Amino acid sequence: MISRRRYLGLLPIAGLTGCLSSDADPTEPLGKVSVDNFLRRPVTVTVTIEKEGETRHTAEYQLRAYKEEEHDHPELVTIQEPWMGDTVNYTATFDVPSVGKSTYSSEKHEEDFTGSGCWSIAASIDTYDDGREIIDIAVGGLIEGAVTCP
């Protein structure tokens, strides 16, 4: 079961998640890819983004520990690049050696974000209530003005 904290954090994105489409390519450009850390220990995450099967971004990020008792905000890394402006397929992979690897591919899921301007891939490193650590990925259309689309 996902933690209450993570569930509440997903509500704005979940409400905007697109419906399945019959098109192979997304209906809007990719606006951003982000990752945050809700674990109470620091982690290293490698983020790889592919555009139409070609690796366009690979970087390693050190994310500090989350301090829930201090009403902390998790450290957030956001990737926005001009090359994300095409309505083609994108794949994002998040690899945390101590947790695992999680991948999202727009080609496999075929969401429809028509009218949203652009869409995002958001990963959170978190724990289930039973203590298992996970990399949870959510996708959604972006609220107009929340981010400048490429």
Answering whether pTM is above 0.75, one says: yes
Asked if residue 148 belongs to a domain, the reply is no
Q: What pLDDT band is residue 123 in, cutting at 50, 70 and 90?
A: very high
Most confident of 11-15, 60-64, 74-78, 108-112: 60-64
Report whether pLDDT(2) > 50: no
Provide the number of structural domains found in the chain: 1
- Strand ranges of the sheet holding 76-79, from the earlier edge strand across to the other edge: 76-79, 30-37, 119-127, 133-141
Contact 45, 99 (CB under 8 A): no
Asked if residue 147 belongs to a domain, the reply is no
Contact 142, 117 (CB under 8 A): yes
Task: Render pLDDT for 9-19 as a digit per residue (tens, 0 to 9).
Answer: 544 443 334 43
What's the average model confidence in pLDDT over 66-79? Answer: 85
**Coil, strand or helix at 114:** coil
C-alpha–C-alpha distance, residues 128 and 146, integer Å: 29
Q: Find the domain containing 137 and state its range.
A: 4-141
Asked if residue 150 belongs to a domain, the reply is no
